[in-house]
Amino acid sequence: MIIEQWENIVMAKVRVHNFLVSLDGYAAGPEQSLENPFGVGGMVVGDWFVRTETFLRMQGQPGGSTGTDNDFAARWGTNVGAFIMGRNMFGPIRGEWPDESWQGWWGLEPPYHHPVFVLTHYQRPALPMQGGTTFHFTDEPIEAVLDQAFEAANGKDVQIGGGVHTVQQFLRAGLIDEMHLAIAPVLLGRGERLFDNLGDGPAGYQVTEWVGTPAAQHVVLTNYRS
């Protein structure tokens, strides 16, 4: 039993998946808001994803494209037992929470179905949702949050979500084992760039997959330092 538990711990990864980036490196446009969750003009970087069968199925809708784009989209959440996201991904509210009415972008049953840890400077009680998702709001260091996430994942992977600042924190610390970027053939020109201010964080990552479609260039980076 001890050997099996150790094997689960060793094999579990910290992953980023379906992270949307423009050709000039921006993962979000400026001025993120309720009306523009990816910033002004930023929704275009996700055009490939919202057309896939995987995305439409997550919305309870039929149809959608299959093929390479859908194959990559479908990896999202596979063998994942916990999720970490920044407050920007959870919602558009900044500063103190005016109340606890905001429950995320995803309705009463978010697509995670496991514990989600939201990095924020402003605490609020844990938020259980339908389908097994519970949002936990924490201001602890990322290393401590990652430990909690691995414990909650029970041997499965931990997935890191946006926004840009959240992924950058884990990249700078060298804590991400595998990262899938979907590079859209569009230019945003301004906003939040993923690969700015990382120091030597990207050192040790190698491209292990490189597959292009008319809608996106899919790049998987693997950290060989981990």
Contact 9, 155 (CB under 8 A): yes
Please, what is the average pLDDT of the chain? 91
Confidence at residue 204, expressed as pLDDT on a 0 to 100 scale: 87
Residue 222 has, within 13 A of its CA and on its CB side, a CA count of 6
Question: What is the number of structural domains in the chain?
Answer: 1
Lowest mean pLDDT among 8-17, 131-140, 169-178, 186-195: 8-17
Model pLDDT for residues 42-69, shown as the tens digit of each residue: 889 999 999 999 999 988 899 999 999 9
Confidence at residue 226, expressed as pLDDT on a 0 to 100 scale: 56
pTM attached to this predicted model: 0.91
Could you tell me if residue 109 is inside a domain? no
Instruction: Give 164 or 199, the one with higher predicted confidence.
Output: 164
How many Å apart are CA 154 and CA 2, to the nearest integer? Answer: 14
- pLDDT exceeds cutoff 50 at 4: no
Confidence at residue 51, expressed as pLDDT on a 0 to 100 scale: 93
Could you tell me if residue 108 is inside a domain? no
- pLDDT exceeds cutoff 80 at 225: no
C-beta neighbour count of 223 within 10 angstroms: 20
How many Å apart are CA 18 and CA 58, to the nearest integer? Answer: 14
Segment 123-135 mean pLDDT: 97
Domain range for 132: 2-95+114-223
Amino acid at site 48: W
**CATH number where 158 lies:** 3.40.430.10
Could you tell me if residue 21 is inside a domain? yes
- pLDDT exceeds cutoff 80 at 5: no
Closest to 67 (Cα-Cα) out of 169, 222, 211: 211
How many Å apart are CA 45 and CA 98, to the nearest integer? Answer: 31
Could you tell me if residue 184 is inside a domain? yes
Could you tell me if residue 20 is inside a domain? yes
Segment 192-211 mean pLDDT: 90
Return phi, psi of residue 50, to 5°: -70, -10
